[in-house]
Every structure is written in C-alpha cells, then in structure tokens.
Amino acid sequence: AVAVTDHDTVDWLEEAWEEGKELGIEVIPGIELSTYYNRDEVHILGYFIDWKNAHLQEVLTGLARERLERAEKMVEKLAKLNVRLDLEEVQAIAGSGVVGRPHVARALLRAGYARSLEEAFSKYLVSGAPAYVPRKKLTPFQAIDLLRRLGGIPVLAHPGLLKDDRIVCDLVKQGLKGIEVYYPGHRLIQKSRYLAMCGRFHLIATGGSDFHGDNGKVPLGGVVVNYNTVDRLKKNKRGRQLLGDPVH
C-alpha cells in the first residue's frame, strides 16, 4: 500500500487511485494540511479521506488562492533585494500543483541566487529571512475537525520539526489518532519519545518518507511501516462509523 498525502491539495488523488488499480497497488487517499499554532508550523496528515467532498474542495480552493498571493508577495520582497524572479516562472515550476515556498526556492536556484534549495530557504524564505511572508493557515484543531468530518484519520506529521511537541495532548483531545513516528529526520531518541507518546495516548504510530520530489534526499517509499499500521487505521475508521461518528 502507498499513501498519497500532498500539501493542501488532492488534485493528484484520482490519477493515483486509477494507477493503483491498474498496478494492483492499494492507494490510501490522503492529504497533509498546513496549520499554525502559537507561531509553530504544525502539519496534520489525513488518511482515508473523502477527497471528493464539496466542503473540502471549497477549503482547498481558498488555501490555494492564499498561497498564490503569498508567493506574489515573496517575489515582491525579493525584488526589493535586487533578486529578480518572475511569478509566472514560479507558477510554471509548481505546474498544476499548489504554489508554495519550495517552488520559489527552486526558482531562486534556477536563477543562480542560491547554490541549493537549503540555501534558498535559509537565505531568503525561512521565518525571519528577508523575503519570508507568513501564511494565513488553519489551526491544527480546525484541521483535525475537518479531517474527521471527511471520514479521515488525523495524524500529526513529523513532530520532530516542532518547536514544542507538548501540543500533542491538546490535539488528542480534539481527535488526533496517530503520530508520524518513522520519519527520515527523526533521531532514535525522538522515535523512542514519540512511540512512548503513542502508548500513553493510545495513538497509531505511522511513518512516511515525506517525499518532495527527486531532490536526492529521501527516495519515494524511503520509509516503510508494517501493514499492521494500515490495518489499525482502517479499524479506527470502521470503529468510528459503527459509533456513528460523522463520516461522510
């Protein structure tokens, strides 16, 4: 099985679903929602979502519009630094996907303003950098509520990137069902910590490669978990349906 969880978009799920059927691969429909909490960026994964839901499409359309406006502001800030980028070039790099900072970073790399994507981010695009533009995002609590209404299983993505992971307790109260324990950037001590959290809060320990394209870091499918994890996600979804949880 493979889960497809793009950032703030479900545009590729139909194609992935059909391709999976052709190849005999189980495709788990999902998404990764970008949220903010106490000035910390928190990503919430949703597995087994109803990706054709009209309300979801409405929310994602608004997020896509906001992300394009954000990219435009970044390009304007860069211009004031004598770093000239064309917004249309950034959009071309994004293709049919949702425009985001990674596409601005790639444009900087192509134009010779950075030697690597990491440098593009650290020099221009991270919080505190001269071309950084904050986002108007969902809160993680809103994201969890949305995913649950879509029949999805909400999971906290790469908690090792958080400034403060004590938020987990509050997210569990909202309906969080899992933590992405197995992640390329997590050290052994972090994995142990998050496994302990899963045990304490009765959460599902998931994993993912966080594949963001062929940038040489982590290959597609670079992190795998036992299929038992998928079974637990399915069981959780079935249990909610039996209990009459709002699943559409």
pTM above 0.85, yes or no: no
- State the pLDDT at residue 244: 52
**Considering only CA atoms, which of 174, 178, 173, 134 is closest in space to residue 156?**
178
Predicted pLDDT at 240: 67
DSSP percent split of the chain into helix, strand, coil, nearest 5: 45, 15, 40
Q: What is the DSSP letter of 150?
A: T
Walk along the chain (248 residues) in steps of 10 and give the mean pLDDT of each run: 91 93 96 89 95 92 90 97 96 87 96 95 95 87 94 95 89 96 94 96 93 66 88 87 51
pLDDT in tens, 178-230: 999 999 989 999 999 999 999 999 999 999 987 766 655 667 777 889 999 99
What CA–CA distance (Å, rounded) separates 204 from 191? Answer: 13
Give pLDDT, residue 128. 92
Domains, the chain, with CATH or none: 2-53+137-242 (3.20.20.140), 62-125 (1.10.150)
pLDDT at site 39: 77
Neighbours of 119 (CB within 10 A): 14
Do residues 48 and 237 lie in contact, with contact meaning Cβ atoms separated by under 8 Å? yes
State the pLDDT at residue 165.
Answer: 85
